[in-house]
Amino acid sequence: NAGVTQTPKFQVLKTGQSMTLQCAQDMNHNSMYWYRQDPGMGLRLIYYSASEGTTDKGEVPNGYNVSRLNKREFSLRLESAAPSQTSVYFCASSVLGQDGNTIYFGEGSWLTVV
Amino acid sequence: TQLLEQSPQFLSIQEGENLTVYCNSSSVFSSLQWYRQEPGEGPVLLVTVVTGGEVKKLKRLTFQFGDARKDSSLHITAAQPGDTGLYLCAGTGGSQGNLIFGKGTKLSVKP
């Protein structure tokens, strides 16, 4: 079972370069998310998509754009990378059950902006 | 803004010891989840608690949701090196029901 798959695993960018992080899930979940994780800051929501065709800003959306290409795929784009965007990025998807939202995370993408 | 405060931030103990990690807020959450994250991986869900006062057990791990649904605790009995990791609590909140994460407790269990 693949679950949530994100690529690339590691990336080094120069300031001002652009790149797209790809994410796909095979669990038929409606909701998908992009988080960033920084030391001492915990997981912070960048953008989320409650369903195909919709996207909404999270806590820290500045400098990012997203595309919900279809139900499976949710990409995160950095148009002009900045050193402050050095972080670990996690894609996730969720299903609503009787206990609320259960979130499944990908393995993370380590991004360094120099 | 809903916040979740976790304590302690770091915990280093010997194998066989017991420990408790706390997750506190001034806000009420409809449910609260605990995740464990190992280095180089994404968080993995351990448990969800939804009822005030609820206690759930997962082998040597005991999770409790406060009566007022504002706080939770995770107790590990006889910790083992395999318990090492970052423990995150997350509450369901916000207008869209998104998860709000605490900053985590980094646990190290030495053999």
SS3 annotation, chain A: CCCEEEECCEEEECCCCCEEEEEEECCCCCEEEEEEEECCCEEEEEEEECCCCCCEECCCCCCEEEEECCCCEEEEEECCCCHHHCEEEEEEEEEEECCEEEEEECCCEEEEEC
CA distance A54 to A66: 10
Question: How many Å is the Cα radius of gyration of chain B?
Answer: 13
> Over 90: is that where the pLDDT of B1 sits?
no
Answer whether B43 sits within 8 Å of A102, measured CB to CB. no
Tens digit of pLDDT at every position of chain A (114 positions): 579 999 999 999 999 999 999 999 999 999 999 999 998 888 999 999 999 989 999 989 999 999 998 999 999 999 999 999 999 999 999 988 777 778 899 999 999 999
B39 touches chain A (CB under 8 A): no
A-facing residues of B in 53-92 (CB < 8 A) are 88, 90, 92
Q: Are B88 and B41 in contact (CB under 8 A)?
A: no
Q: Give the SS3 label for residue B52.
A: coil
Token pair 């988080």 is found at A35
Span B74-100, average pLDDT: 87
Spell out which residues of chain B touch residue A38, defining contact as CB-CB under 8 Å: none
Going by C-alpha positions, the residue among B43, B45, B38, B4 that lies closest to residue A100 is: B45
Which of A40, A48, A106 lies closest to B42 in CB terms? A106
Identify the closest residue of chain B to A102 by CA–CA distance: B45
What one-character-per-residue DSSP string does B62-92 give? EEEE-TTSSEEEEEESS--GGG-EEEEEEEE
**Interface A-B: count of C-beta contacts within 8 A:** 57
Spell out which residues of chain B touch residue A102, defining contact as CB-CB under 8 Å: 33, 45, 48
Identify the closest residue of chain B to A37 by CA–CA distance: B103
Q: Are B66 and B72 in contact (CB under 8 A)?
A: yes
- pLDDT given for residue A47 in this prediction: 96
**Mean pLDDT of all residues in chain A?**
93
CA distance A37 to A10: 14
Answer whether A102 sits within 8 Å of B48, measured CB to CB. yes
Identify the closest residue of chain B to A46 by CA–CA distance: B98
Vertex B8: Cα angle to A112 and B83 (nearest 5): 75
Answer whether B44 sits within 8 Å of A105, measured CB to CB. yes
Going by C-alpha positions, the residue among A41, A85, A83, A40 that lies closest to residue A62 is: A85
Q: Are A107 and A76 in contact (CB under 8 A)?
A: no
